[in-house]
Structure 1
């Protein structure tokens, strides 16, 4: 790859800087702008490792001076932002000093036979990102995020996903009809009803449905499920965090499939 042209930004009124601030600070700006902001060395390398390339690479002046030679061919355009301005782009406690802008991926068609995770109105960005990471780790290659779920390409979900986004089929604003069209068995989690997970014969492939942090899986989606499944909790807690429950369920499916 040849070296990309480098533009230096030192004015807070720069048009590119205004766009970057919107992408970094507004969790749904990516839908309006058609672009996604990812921040930090780990996420940027994860994107490149999956064979994707950003539209623009953005560096603080300090990081560019120190490590720019490593990244000269990573994007067709490079922006170097004054350190005091880059700080206002960062969503991290300690600014990472670099990020990528990439085109918003289009939602792919649903693969009806793929092992799938369905997110039903999850509100917390950290939970959504953690579940995406679990889905990727345990072989669930497709995620259907129903309307009302935290914006899956927002900076907070991307940070929590730790690069999982780039290896998954992500369908945002999915519908009940798309879930209904799945041709794999659907399993719905429940806090108090259904068969215990450790006693269940788990099908593969399958689709796991994880619901709203307070309300759980909606009744319309639960009605599509072959079974409701719960996790034994001998310690007596009322319920588990949904990301924790997802990790347990998805691992159990992967273990049953691999045994």
Structure 2
């Protein structure tokens, strides 16, 4: 059975739980790194779907509940930017959702083919970060402060996993993301590497930072590896007049990226 609304868009109604499209989505939800083999990710909720569309991404499949299709004309319009649109019952859609608060719309999107390191651009490097919330937060800060790409070394949480996608709040679609890199791969960046250290002599905000650069952010407990720290052209400390011993890596990232972005904007031309 198919429904048409608006006239140019056709939506297919799915009522079988074992439908191949629904099975593919459930498989992606069950395996955080499954997107690497599938080449696709599942976006839960209207915020992520809207963010992907705003950046010009095509939806491979738009899925929503019957009630949403009837009630949300703005979501119906998204069908024009999807290769296929499927309507399911609220019960079936709950099986496609990992959120505590149920949503009524989602989309399957294909990932770019084998992104490569871009030399000479403002970059963030993740060294074995484990927490999905931290990784997503850093992606948000990276996008907000103008980083062009985020490079993840082996051992970092899967960048396109459902938890990181939710924490990133749509930042993924404005960044080039490259995963499973080694420290040697960073030579292709051709920009200075910067890291934070509580023992650094240079204090953030007390002197110009190189531009463009790549900020290296390390494991939540171990920090940046010693071998990678040796590759850094500069290490800086973040002043903490409140007396705390250290900052969460997500908070530190936001401070460092802001300092670089504002420094670049205020630097004299030429």
> TM-score normalised to the size of structure 2?
0.90
Partner of 1:101: 108
Partner of 1:88: 95
State the Cα deviation string for residues 35-62 of structure 1 (Å, max 9, x = none). 1111111211111111111111111222
- Are 1:16 and 2:9 an aligned pair? no
Structure 2 gaps, min length 5? 1-5
Instruction: Please point out which of 154, 160, 170 is paired with 1:147.
Output: 154
State the Cα deviation string for residues 96-126 of structure 1 (Å, max 9, x = none). 2111101122232211101110000000111
In the TM superposition, residue 145 of structure 1 has moved relative to its aligned partner by: 0.8
Instruction: Please point out which of 128, 131, 134 is paired with 2:135.
Output: 128
Structure 1 gaps, min length 5? none
What CA RMSD, in Å, does the superposition of the two structures yield over aligned residues? 1.7
Cα distance in 2 for residues equivalent to 1:2 and 1:71: 13
In the TM superposition, residue 180 of structure 1 has moved relative to its aligned partner by: 2.2
Closer/same/farther in 2, CA of residues 95 and 16 from structure 1, 3 Å limit: same
Moved over 3 A (4+): 1-5, 191-194
Cα distance in 2 for residues equivalent to 1:72 and 1:149: 35
Q: How many residues align?
A: 259
Partner of 1:175: 182
CA contact (8 A) 2:62 2:79 kept: no
CA contact (8 A) 1:180 1:224 kept: no
CA contact (8 A) 1:3 1:72 kept: no
State the Cα deviation string for residues 29-86 of structure 1 (Å, max 9, x = none). 1112221111111211111111111111111222122125333312010111210121
Instruction: Please point out which of 51, 54, 60 is paired with 1:49.
Output: 54
Cα distance in 2 for residues equivalent to 1:206 and 1:145: 16
Partner of 1:195: 202
Instruction: Please point out which of 68, 79, 88 is paired with 1:72.
Output: 79
In the TM superposition, residue 4 of structure 1 has moved relative to its aligned partner by: 4.1
